[in-house]
Amino acid sequence: MTDGPVPTHCPYCALQCAMTLTTTDVADAATTPVTVAGRDFPTNRGGLCKKGWTSAELLRAPSRLGAPLVRGADGALRQASWDEALDLVAARLRDIRSEHGADAVGVFGGGGLTNEKAYLLGKFARLALGTSRIDYNGRYCMSSAAAAGNRAFGVDRGLPFPLADLDDAETILLLGTNVAETMPPFIGHLAGAQAAGGLVVVDPRRTATAKLTDDGKGLHVQPAPGTDLALLLGITHVVIAERLIDEAYVAARTTGFESVRRSVASWWPERVQAVTGVAAPTVRRLARRLAAGGNTYILTGRGVEQHVDGTDTATAAINLALLLGLPGRLGSGYGTLTGQGNGQGGREHGQKCDQLPGYRKITDPDARAHVARVWGVDPAEIPGPGVPAIELLGSLGQPGGVRALMVHGSNLVVSSPNAAAVRRGVEALDLLVVCDFVLSETAAMADVVLPVLQWAEEEGTMTNLEGRVIRRRRALAPPPSARDELWIMHELARRLGSTAAFDTDPEAVFEELRLASEGGIADYSGIDYAQLDAGEAMYWPYPRGSAGTPRLFADRFAHPDGRARLVAVTVRAAAHRSAARGELTLVTGRLLEHYQSGAQTRRVPELLEAQPELRASLHPATAARLGIADGDPVELANGRGTVRGRARVTTDIRPDAVFLPFHYGDDQAANLLTSDAVDPISSMPEFKTNLVRVTSLAEAGAPA
């Protein structure tokens, strides 16, 4: 154990709230070994949410894995030694590669891995395994926002400014994000806009965030699900028609205005009202408020991005921000809210199928040459681009597809869309290896389960939603059976005969990451552990010898000519199917008490007791029409699957929609109903506007 209080950060969302861990005198292995206290930091200012306060309970939870598990001939998982488990994995991987080729082995990563683990996982996949088949669950989170940011600005960093800049805002437009429940300390940064009457929340649900406008000063806009793009085009139409744009900014710092002007010409407010249900006067009011001057921010979240047209919707929000002259202006801006703890850093250094460290394109010969020099290999040894998550998972067990899959930091059979199809693919694999610290639904299907460290037991770095690199510190020793994933990759690479270096020391791995990222878009070369340990605020890009970049775009954008791109987008008629009689639009999202697939939070008694089961939120009028009472058992179904839960009757949802949280497994997994159709640019799946039928099970004699 480490003597004295240890400063670190929460293991959950990308706010990465600061906390202090103090070791306790534990009487037995099941006792929580550290106490948690909030620590002053710009994102959370000492506050934590329920998940943060209870985060230490998992460190010695009874459900924590006690040893490697190997599936025996009888089909049951049994305990094994580390040597037995790793020897088995290496032998099976060699056989599968020999018979089916290197791309028959896939790797699925996670947005919660440290920068060091994410970096080494990309290197491990490409050199030790020789496969191009790597992607990660961030594909489900940030891919549309990233694609939109890259084509508009030439760079993708969730918030291109420190979060504390929001404190002085007079107007903040929140599109499809429920920060009051997903990252509660965030709402402290909304107080200024609330006081100024300028907090605007766009969401089909009356969420806890939307209720922050209940004082009548702010505004909650409740469009029909899947119509955010039309709403944004309508607001942009008013901004242009009423000459509310920042003409000098648009002329000096952007290209593409005329194409955008033409693309929104037909989206007058009355047409927007007919499509979205948002009254035409409200559309005009929104445009005028955003253009009124003062400090204005536009922020997007998954609610407007997790669609088959998510990239275009995020682009429309960026277009609006550019026309108003917000990006790069001190006191104003545009940003997107990263969800997973290291969703930002996790996608910068090699987990994405088309990227190398430093946010380099894997198809760029210069990028390949640079990374190859750092890795000490010929560029030809680095495979080309792979395929995004949905395509990778769709190939599981298929001829010519992935036959063996290694999973790190993801519960993909719960979090992936069309989950029943993913489960079938997993069942068809020749080998499934899962690294986790609990037996998640995915781990329970594995051939080999490898127990790994938790956040308070490891060293490393994370990159929060601001692009700020922070230190994760070890506060206590892990259980004797658990191993660091850096060590696991080192041992497997050795067994597979790889000649590439796979260091087990996090700081040494970070030093290599610095070199590999140098000169790239996400340049970390000027960052080191000593500076981070000293508490310096370090925002990437941080080239060697620089002072970092807390605020992007002050002088230029990242395109070669320094200008941002205004990109015309249109509403595609086929993007979202219209509901037939009896169907409701399914909206999925999060709860305050749970996180992601719930693999962690459902094992914390306090959190599980608060939200023990799936609840389907229905409007009272809809519930009455369907003969459903509050608390009734209900079934939701479509052509992909069936889900069972209980009804929650509330006016917080539109009558044409039903809301399900996605934190539950088995027959309560919301993603049994979601579609694996994807955005053509980002490959983001359609999570938010799937159609379902809801029926009561109360009359069928189901248990109440």
DSSP string, 483-533: B-HHHHHHHHHHHTT--S-----HHHHHHHHHHHHTTSSS--TT--HHHHH
- Categorize the per-residue pLDDT at 4 as very low, low, confident or very high, splitting at 50, 70 and 90: confident
Q: 700 pLDDT exceeds 70?
A: no
Tokens of 208: 């806890």
What are the tens digits of pLDDT across the range 603-650?
A: 999 999 999 999 999 999 999 999 999 999 999 999 999 999 999 999
Distance in angstroms (rounded) separating the CA atoms of residues 52 and 56: 8
Looking from the CA of 555 toward its CB, the CA atoms found within 13 Å total: 2
Q: 579 pLDDT exceeds 90?
A: no
Distance from first CA to last CA of the chain, Å, rounded?
Answer: 48
What are the tens digits of pLDDT across the range 554-569?
A: 999 999 999 999 999 9
Strand pairing class (564-565; 538-539): unpaired
For residue 703, what pLDDT is reported?
Answer: 47
Q: 27 pLDDT exceeds 60?
A: no
Helix or strand run (H / E) with residue 145: helix 143-153
- Categorize the per-residue pLDDT at 478 as very low, low, confident or very high, splitting at 50, 70 and 90: very high
Q: 387 pLDDT exceeds 90?
A: yes
Amino acid occupying residue 393: L
For residue 202, what pLDDT is reported?
Answer: 98
Tokens of 90: 């290496």
- The 3-state DSSP class for residue 334 equals strand
- Categorize the per-residue pLDDT at 2 as very low, low, confident or very high, splitting at 50, 70 and 90: low
Report the alpha-carbon angle 282-211-55, nearest 5. Answer: 135
Q: Which of 189-198, 310-319, 335-344, 401-410 has the lowest mean pLDDT?
A: 335-344
Distance in angstroms (rounded) separating the CA atoms of residues 165 and 169: 7
Q: Mean pLDDT, to the nearest integer, of 236-265? A: 98
Whole-model pTM: value is 0.95
- Categorize the per-residue pLDDT at 81 as very low, low, confident or very high, splitting at 50, 70 and 90: very high
Is 69-140+342-539 a domain of CATH 3.40.50.970?
Answer: no
**Among residues of the chain, what percentage have pLDDT more than 90?**
93
For residue 31, what pLDDT is reported?
Answer: 67
For residue 704, what pLDDT is reported?
Answer: 43
What are the tens digits of pLDDT across the range 147-160?
A: 999 999 999 999 99
Q: CB of 616 within 8 A of CB of 636?
A: yes
Looking from the CA of 76 toward its CB, the CA atoms found within 13 Å total: 3
Strands (E), 622-684: 633-637, 642-649, 657-661, 675-678
Q: CB of 207 within 8 A of CB of 256?
A: no
* DSSP H helix total and E strand total for the chain: 23, 30
For residue 646, what pLDDT is reported?
Answer: 98
Higher-scoring residue by pLDDT: 285, 582: 285
Task: For 143-336, give the CATH class.
Answer: alpha beta
Q: 575 pLDDT exceeds 80?
A: no
Q: Mean pLDDT, to the nearest integer, of 266-292? A: 97
Report the Cα 421 to chain-centroid distance in Å. 22
- Categorize the per-residue pLDDT at 574 as very low, low, confident or very high, splitting at 50, 70 and 90: low
Q: 3 pLDDT exceeds 90?
A: no
CATH fold match for the domains 143-336 and 584-696 = no
3-state helix, strand, coil in the chain (%, to 5): 35, 20, 45
Q: 35 pLDDT exceeds 90?
A: yes
For residue 296, what pLDDT is reported?
Answer: 97
Please provide the average confidence, as pLDDT, over all residues in the chain.
95
Q: 96 pLDDT exceeds 60?
A: yes
Q: What's the topology of domain 584-696?
A: Barwin-like endoglucanases (2.40.40)
Give per-residue burial for 238-255: e unless 16+ CB within 10 Å, then b. Answer: bbbbeebbbeebbeebbe
For residue 294, what pLDDT is reported?
Answer: 85
For residue 481, what pLDDT is reported?
Answer: 93
Domain extents in the chain: 6-58, 69-140+342-539, 143-336, 584-696
For residue 391, what pLDDT is reported?
Answer: 97
DSSP 8-state code for residue 126: I
**Which CATH architecture fits 6-58?**
Single Sheet (2.20)
Q: 94 pLDDT exceeds 70?
A: yes
Q: 30 pLDDT exceeds 90?
A: no
